[in-house]
Amino acid sequence: MTKYTIGIDYGTDSVRALVVNTENGKEMGSHVFHYPRWEKGMFCNAAGNQFRQHPLDYLEGLEISVREALRQCPEGVAGQVVGISVDTTGSTPVAVDREGTPLALKPGFGENPNAMFILWKDHTALKEAEEINTMARSWGGEDYTRFEGGIYSPEWFWAKILHVLRTDRKVREAAWSWVEHCDWIPALLVGDTDPLKLKRSRCAAGHKAMWHQNFDGLPDEEFLVRLDPLLGGLKERLFSDTYTCDVQVGTISDEWAEKLGLPNTVSIGAGAFDAHLGALGAEIEPYYMSKVMGTSTCDMIIAPAGEVGNNLVEGICGQVDGSIVPGMIGLEAGQSAFGDIYAWFSKMLMWPVDHVVARLQDLDEELKEQMRRETSEQMIAELSAAAEKINPEESSLLALDWMNGRRTPDANPNLKGAIMGLTLGSDAPGIFRALIESTAFGAKMIVDRFISEGVRIDGIIALGGVAKKSPLVMQIVADVLNKPIKVARSEQAVALGTAMAAAVVAGVYASVPEAQAAMGSGFETEYHPDPGMVSLYASRYQQYKRFGAFVEEEINHSTA
Amino acid sequence: MTKYTIGIDYGTDSVRALVVNTENGKEMGSHVFHYPRWEKGMFCNAAGNQFRQHPLDYLEGLEISVREALRQCPEGVAGQVVGISVDTTGSTPVAVDREGTPLALKPGFGENPNAMFILWKDHTALKEAEEINTMARSWGGEDYTRFEGGIYSPEWFWAKILHVLRTDRKVREAAWSWVEHCDWIPALLVGDTDPLKLKRSRCAAGHKAMWHQNFDGLPDEEFLVRLDPLLGGLKERLFSDTYTCDVQVGTISDEWAEKLGLPNTVSIGAGAFDAHLGALGAEIEPYYMSKVMGTSTCDMIIAPAGEVGNNLVEGICGQVDGSIVPGMIGLEAGQSAFGDIYAWFSKMLMWPVDHVVARLQDLDEELKEQMRRETSEQMIAELSAAAEKINPEESSLLALDWMNGRRTPDANPNLKGAIMGLTLGSDAPGIFRALIESTAFGAKMIVDRFISEGVRIDGIIALGGVAKKSPLVMQIVADVLNKPIKVARSEQAVALGTAMAAAVVAGVYASVPEAQAAMGSGFETEYHPDPGMVSLYASRYQQYKRFGAFVEEEINHSTA
C-alpha cells in the first residue's frame, strides 16, 4: 500500500496543504487558503508595526486547505494518509487559557488583537526586547541570549508576551499560558491542547524562547521576575522539554479525522517553523546554506554537533541542536526584509495611481479601479524588466536594506534603510535595482559572518517566492555572494519538507536524510556568478559596509 | 510724457517681455515665449548632462515676446518706450565668428550642439573645471578663482569653452571668440555684435569668467596657455572692460526698432544675469539676502564696498563690485538644484503611469494620455497637500539635496543626493517632505557660511516660482533658517528688475535705488518661523551636516 503524508504550511498570508506520495515525493494535491480577516487588514496597524492574526483564520484554513487538497487526489489517497506535520511562521505566540484555547476564541476577546496570534513581523515589543538584552547582559547570571545570537529580537516569544502582559490588563488576567502557532495546531489535531501536555517545538523554543539544554530548559524564574514581576510563575505553566520534527505528538482525534476526511490512525508530528521545514524540503545538507527568500529571508546551515556545537556564532539568530535536522546543530540567520523591500518600493510608486489618478474627475470609476489593480499587479515585473537593462557600472546608487531593521548579523531593529548616489537622472528602475543590490549585500553580511566565525559554506540552496520568481534578484545575489546558487525545484518546498517530516513521524522512513533522498524533487536552476560583476560588487559591498556603519552610528546615537 | 521701459527676461525654458511704466512700476503688458526647439528636447542629452539652446530659439523669442507684450498695452505706449534691458541665465556662452554671430546660425553648424549656447546647467565640462581648479592653486601665480568662491564650476565660461575646443574640431576652427547670452542680445539690438566692441556684462564676467579689477581683467595669457595651448590667443579676442547694468551699450538699430515696433531712440542697457536683475526687482537692499527660488536657487547679498570689499567669503560663487547694484559689492551663492529636486521626485513617481499604465491593453489610448497629463500636472500639488499633514517629529527621514551636485558652499559638482531613515512605512509624501527639508538645510548651509565669514544677514527676500507657489516649502525654509522671509509681490520680479535697470540706462532715474523706490511693487507675504519647528529642525540640521560629511567623503574617495 502506497503511503501518503500531508504537509500543512502556515505562511504569512495563507495556509497551504500538500498531499505527497512518500515513495517518490510526488505532489498529489494541494490547496492554498488566504486568511480572510488578515486579507482585510483586520487587527493590524502597519504604521505601528502591529501585526496580529485571528485563530479563526487558522482554523478555517486548516479544514478547507486539507479537504480541498485531498479532493484533488485520486480516489483512495485520503484513506492511505499516514501522517500530518505542520509548519508555521514564528515566533507567533498567543495567550491561551488553562485548556490551551487562544483567548480570541473566547467570549469578550474575539475582537482584541492582544488575544490573537502575534505574527512574527509584529514589532510592538521593541522596548521589551531591549530590556531583555540589557538584563541578560547585566543580571550576573547566565546570558540566555547566547544561543540566539546574543541579541534578543522584538519579534520573539518573551518580548511579545511581556509587551502584551504590560499593555492589556484583560488579557493578562485571562492568559494562563502562551503557545506558539506551530505547537497549537498539532495539539489541536491530536485533540488535547493542555499547555502543560502539548509537545513544544524544539526549533521554536530554541531559537525564540531562550530554551537550551545547557539551561535545563527555559530561563531561570529569577531572571524572568527581575525582568518584570508580571512574568512570575509563568515558566511553570510553559514547558521544559522540547521536541524535534521527527517526533510524533500523538494520533489525530476522531473529531479532526472526520472533519478532514482522514483515517483516525494518522500520526501527527511535532510542529516546526516554515523556514526550517522548507530547508528539509529543499534538501539541505551540512554546510550548504539554505536560504528561504520571500518577504524576509531565513538563512540556515546544519552541521554535525561535534564540529560547531561549542563554537557560538556571534550575532546570528541562533544555533540549536536538532532545530532543523534532528541530530545536527541548526544555525539560523536571516534578513528582516527582503522581498518586502521590493514590495514597499512598488507600493510607494502606486501613490500617484492611488491618490492623484483617483481624484481625476473625468475618468470612469471602474476603469480607474481596473487600472489601479492591473498596475499594482504588474509593477514588480515591469520594474524588474527595466532594472535588468541597467549596467550597474553606470549607476551611482547604493542602498541599505534596513527598512525593517536588521535581524542578522547583530540584530538591531532600530536601523532604517537609506539610499545614496541620487541624481536628477535617477529613475524608478534604477532605484529598484539598487534596492535589490542592497538586499544582496545584506545577504553577504550574513555569509561573511558565518565564515569569519569558522562555519564554512560550501554552497547555497534557495527556495521561496523570490527564488522562484526573480531571475534578476537571484543573479545579483549570486554575483554579490560570489557563489553558485541552486534553486529547489518544488513549487512548495516548505510544505514538501513538512510532508517529509510527517513521513519520518509516521515511521515510513527512519530519518530525515532518508526521507529527503526518497522524496526530494531536486533543483531546477543554478545561478553562476558573473566574474565581471563579482569584482564590481565586491567594491560596492565595501561602500555598503561603510554606509551601514555611518547610518548605524547615527541611529544608535539618536536612539541612545 | 510717461516713459516706459521693457525688461526682457531669458529664462531656462522661455523668454518673457514686460512693458513697465517707469513712473510707478505698473506692468502694462507681458508675453512669454517658450523655446520651441528646447521644448522638444533637441540638442540635449539629460543622461550626459548636456543642455544646449539654439540661438534661433532666442531670436524668435525676442521678436515675438516684445511684439506680443506691446500689443497688450494701450495705444501709444510703444512710441513712449525709452529703454530696453536684457537678462539671461548664465553662464551661457556661445562660440561666435569674427562678426559675433553664433556658429549655430552659420551653414554647416545649424545642428551642432557645440555651436549653440551652452546652458548654465550643462555639466559636460566637469573635467575642465577640475583642471582649472588644480591649475589655479598650483601654477605659482594669482589664484584667479578667489573672487568666485575659490572653486571654479563646470557650469562656467572657461570650463565650457575649453571643453568644446577640445572635443569639437570644427567648432574650434570656426570659433573666433565667445560671447555670453546676456551680452549677445543687447549687442544684437544695437546692431553691432563685433566681439571686440560689444559691452560685456560685469556680473557675467566677474562671477563666471574670472574677470576682476585686481587682475586688470581676465586671467593672464600664461595661465590660460598652461591650462591648455588651445586657449592661446583667445584672451585678446575677448575683452578687458566690463559694464554694470546701469550702462547704456547703445541705441536700438533701425532694423530692430522696426521689427519690434519701437522708436529708433530706445536705449539698450548692458545685460546681466536673471537672478541679479531679479534681486533688483525684488528690492534688494544691503544685508538682505535675496533668494531666487526656482529650479535652482541664486542667493544674493549686496554690501557697501568698504565693508566687505577685502573680506573674501570662502566657498561662495563670487563677489564682484557692481555685479548686482552698481556701487555695491555683489555677493552670490546658490543651490544647484531646488525645485528641480521636487520635479525629479514627481517625475520618478510618474514611472508607473508612463510605463505600466501605458501598456495596459484594455484602456483607451486617449484616456491614458489624458490621465498621464493630468496626473503629472497635479502631482506636486497633491504631494505638497499630503506632505503638509505630516508631523516632522514623527518622521525618521532625512535627505541630502545634492542630486545636481552642490554649488555653494564649497562647490562640488560630484556630490549626489541621499535619503536615510527609510522604513517599510515610508511613503511618497513623507519622502517628498524630507526632500523639501533637505533643500531648506542646503539653504541654511549658505546662510551659515555668510555669517561665519562675517557678512551679517538682516532678513530674507524671496522671489521665483517656488517662492510664489509653495507655502509649504517657504514655511519649512523659514523654520529651518529661523528667519522671516518676505515674498516679492510681482509675478515677474526678474523682468521688472530688468525694466528698472532700463529706466536707469535711459536716464529716467539717476540710480538703481531710485528706480527701485519708484517702480518696486513691494511684498505680498511674510513667513515667520514656528518656534516649535525651529528647535526640531536645528537638531535635524546637525544630522544633515553629519550625513553630508559622510557622503562627501565617500564620493571624494571614490572619484579620487
pLDDT at A309 over 80: no
pLDDT at B426 over 80: yes
Contact assessment for residue A188 and residue A86, using Cβ atoms and an 8 Å cutoff: no
Please tell me the distance from the alpha carbon of residue A299 to that of residue A333, in angstroms, as a whole number. Answer: 5
H helices then E strands: how many in chain B?
Answer: 20, 20
Q: Which of B423, B438, B558 to mutate to test the interface with A (most CBs of A within 10 A)?
A: B423
Question: What is the pLDDT, as a whole number, of residue B310?
Answer: 63
Question: For B382, which residue in chain A has the nearest alpha carbon?
Answer: A356
Is residue B309 very low, low, confident or very high in pLDDT (cuts 50, 70, 90)? low
Please compute, for residue A43, the number of CA atoms within 13 A of its CA located in the half-sphere on the CB side.
25
Question: What is the pLDDT, as a whole number, of residue A318?
Answer: 84
Residues in chain A, total: 560
Contact flag B370-A362 (C-beta cutoff 8 Å): yes
User: Across all residues in chain A, what is the average pLDDT?
Assistant: 95
Contact flag B425-A371 (C-beta cutoff 8 Å): no
Question: What is the pLDDT, as a whole number, of residue B318?
Answer: 84
Cβ–Cβ contact A344 with B under 8 A:
yes
Question: What is the pLDDT, as a whole number, of residue A558?
Answer: 83
Give the three-state DSSP class for A249. Answer: strand
Query: What percent of chain A stands above pLDDT 90?
Result: 88
> Between vectors from CA B379 to CA B376 and to CA B384, what angle results, nearest 5°?
160
Please tell me the distance from the alpha carbon of residue A371 to that of residue B367, in angstroms, as a whole number. Answer: 11
On chain A, the residues whose CB falls within 8 A of the CB of B560 are: none
Name which residue leads in pLDDT, B174 or A311: B174
Contact assessment for residue B245 and residue B177, using Cβ atoms and an 8 Å cutoff: no
Among A47, A418, A546, select the one facing B419 at the smallest CB separation.
A418
List Cβ neighbours of A283 (8 Å cut-off, separation of 6 or more).
A461, A488, A516, A520, A522
User: Across all residues in chain B, what is the average pLDDT?
Assistant: 95
Q: Which of A358, A376, A377, A355 is nearest to A366 (CA)?
A: A358
- Record the pTM: 0.87
pLDDT tens for each residue of B514-527: 999 999 999 999 99
Question: What is the pLDDT, as a whole number, of residue B24?
Answer: 97
Strands B398-400 and B417-422: antiparallel
pLDDT tens for each residue of A20-51: 999 999 999 999 999 999 999 999 998 889 99
Contact assessment for residue A537 and residue A437, using Cβ atoms and an 8 Å cutoff: yes
On chain A, the residues whose CB falls within 8 A of the CB of B359 are: 378, 382
Number of other residues whose CB lies within 10 A of the CB of residue B484: 12
Cβ–Cβ contact B547 with A under 8 A:
yes
Q: Which three cell numbers stand for residue B318?
A: 563670487
As a whole number of Å, the end-to-end CA separation of chain A is 64
Cβ–Cβ contact A371 with B under 8 A:
yes
Interface of A with B in 49-68 (CB under 8 A): 49
Interface of A with B in 95-134 (CB under 8 A): none
ipTM greater than 0.85:
yes
List Cβ neighbours of B40 (8 Å cut-off, separation of 6 or more).
none
Average pLDDT on A421-435 reads 97
The residue with cell 507600493 is: A347
Q: Mutual orientation of helices B365-388 and B428-452 as an angle, nearest 10°?
A: 50
Contact assessment for residue B257 and residue B78, using Cβ atoms and an 8 Å cutoff: no
Is residue A310 very low, low, confident or very high in pLDDT (cuts 50, 70, 90)? low
Contact assessment for residue A232 and residue A487, using Cβ atoms and an 8 Å cutoff: no
Q: Name residue B45's beta-bridge partners.
A: B50
Contact flag B403-A423 (C-beta cutoff 8 Å): yes
Contact assessment for residue A474 and residue A462, using Cβ atoms and an 8 Å cutoff: yes
Average pLDDT on B400-424 reads 94
Average pLDDT on B246-255 reads 98
Question: For A549, which residue in chain B has the nearest alpha carbon?
Answer: B550
Please compute, for residue A88, the number of CA atoms within 13 A of its CA located in the half-sphere on the CB side.
26
Cβ–Cβ contact B560 with A under 8 A:
no
pLDDT tens for each residue of A480-517: 999 999 999 998 999 999 999 999 999 999 999 999 99
Query: Using CA of residue A529, residue A532, residue A534, residue A536, what is the dihedral sign?
Result: negative
Number of other residues whose CB lies within 10 A of the CB of residue A192: 14
Question: What is the pLDDT, as a whole number, of residue B560?
Answer: 67
Contact assessment for residue A330 and residue A288, using Cβ atoms and an 8 Å cutoff: no
